[in-house]
Amino acid sequence: MPKTTDSRKRKSDEVPTLSGPAHFGRPRPSPLRVLLVEDDDATANVISHYFTDQGVPVTHAVDGPAAIQALRERTIDVVVLDIILPGPDGLEVCRQIREQSDLPIILLSAKVTEADRVAGFDVGADDYVPKPFSARELFSRVVALVRRARGQVGPIRKNIVVDDVILEPGALRATRNGRDLGLTSYEFNILYALAERRGRVCTRENLIEAAGGTAEGAFERSIDVHVSRVRQKLGDDARQPQVLKTVRGTGYLFARPSPDE
C-alpha cells in the first residue's frame, strides 16, 4: 500500500485559516491543508518544513497512487505536484485528479519550456512553478491560489445570468441549461471575467489578471489553453464558437447577450 505521511507542526499547534467564504461554499473559515506529491526527499523536506513552520500541515505522498489514496482519505485544499515521479508521471496524476475534483493544483518541474507548461495546463493544472524555486515563493503561490479558489480575492462578486449560462462566484459554480460545467477555479475566473464584460473584448492580459495570475507567472498560450477547455465544457464549437469568440490578435469576447439587453 502506498505510504502517506503527515508533517508535524513545529512552531504552533494552531492551523491557520483563510477568512471569508469557505471552500466549496461551506459558511465558515477552514484551515489550509496541502498535499505534496514529491519523490525527492530533500525537496519534500524543505517544502514540508517551511510550510509547517507557517502552521500549515502537509500530507506527503511519494507517487501518484499514494496521492490518489490521500485525496480519498483526507481533506485537502490544494495539491502541489511534481511532474517527475516514479510510475505515473505528474501530468497523468494531474489528469486523474482533475477527472474527480476541482481542487487547485500547482505543478513543479525542472522543465521550463512553453510546450512543457502548456502540457501542464492541458491536463488541468492551475499554476506551474519551475525549478529551482524558494519554499517562500511556493508558499505564497499556494496561499494565493487557495484564496482565489475560495473567492476571497477582490470585491464581492454577484451571480451572473447570461441566457442559459449561470455563474455563482460564491460557490465557484457554473452551469449551462442546468448542467454543472465542472470548471476549475482558474477556468471559472476566466469565464466570469468574460461574462462580466460580455459584448466587450478582453485581452489576454485582462484574463491573466482576472484569473489571479501575473504576466511574469503566465503567458498568452496558457490563457488560450484555458479558454479552449472552457469552450469544451460549455459545448461551444471550437471552429465556429457562438459563446466565446476569438478576436484575432487581441483576446476573447463573450458574445451571448444578457436577456435584459
- Judgement on whether residues 199 and 89 belong to the same structural domain of the protein: no
Cβ neighbours of residue 234 closer than 8 Å, sequence gap 6 or more: 165, 176, 181, 243, 244
**Which range marks the domain in which residue 244 is found?**
160-254
- Judgement on whether residues 17 and 53 belong to the same structural domain of the protein: yes
- Judgement on whether residues 105 and 23 belong to the same structural domain of the protein: yes
- Judgement on whether residues 83 and 63 belong to the same structural domain of the protein: yes
- Judgement on whether residues 45 and 97 belong to the same structural domain of the protein: yes
pLDDT of residue 4: 43
- Judgement on whether residues 184 and 109 belong to the same structural domain of the protein: no
pLDDT of residue 24: 30
- Judgement on whether residues 231 and 143 belong to the same structural domain of the protein: no
- Judgement on whether residues 130 and 13 belong to the same structural domain of the protein: yes
Spatial CA neighbour of 16 closest among 32, 3, 37, 34: 32
Q: What is the DSSP string of 120-153?
A: HHHTT-SEEEESS--HHHHHHHHHHHHHHHTT-S
pLDDT of residue 70: 94
Burial of residue 72, with CB atoms counted within 10 A of its CB: 0-12 exposed, 13-18 middle, 19 or more buried:
exposed
- Judgement on whether residues 90 and 204 belong to the same structural domain of the protein: no
Identify whether 193 is part of a domain: yes
pLDDT of residue 171: 78
User: How would you write the pLDDT of the chain (261 residues) with one tens digit per residue?
Assistant: 444 444 433 333 333 444 333 333 333 345 789 999 999 999 999 999 999 988 899 999 999 999 999 999 998 989 999 999 999 999 999 999 998 888 899 999 988 788 888 888 889 898 899 988 999 999 998 988 888 777 654 456 788 998 889 998 877 889 999 999 988 888 888 999 999 888 889 998 888 877 765 444 445 567 888 899 999 999 998 888 889 999 988 899 998 554 444
**End of a domain among 122, 149, 176?**
149
- Judgement on whether residues 144 and 190 belong to the same structural domain of the protein: no
**End of a domain among 108, 123, 149?**
149
CATH number at residue 213: 1.10.10.10
- Judgement on whether residues 134 and 9 belong to the same structural domain of the protein: yes
How many independent structural domains does the chain possess? Answer: 2
Count of beta carbons in the 10 Å neighbourhood of residue 149 = 25
pLDDT of residue 65: 95
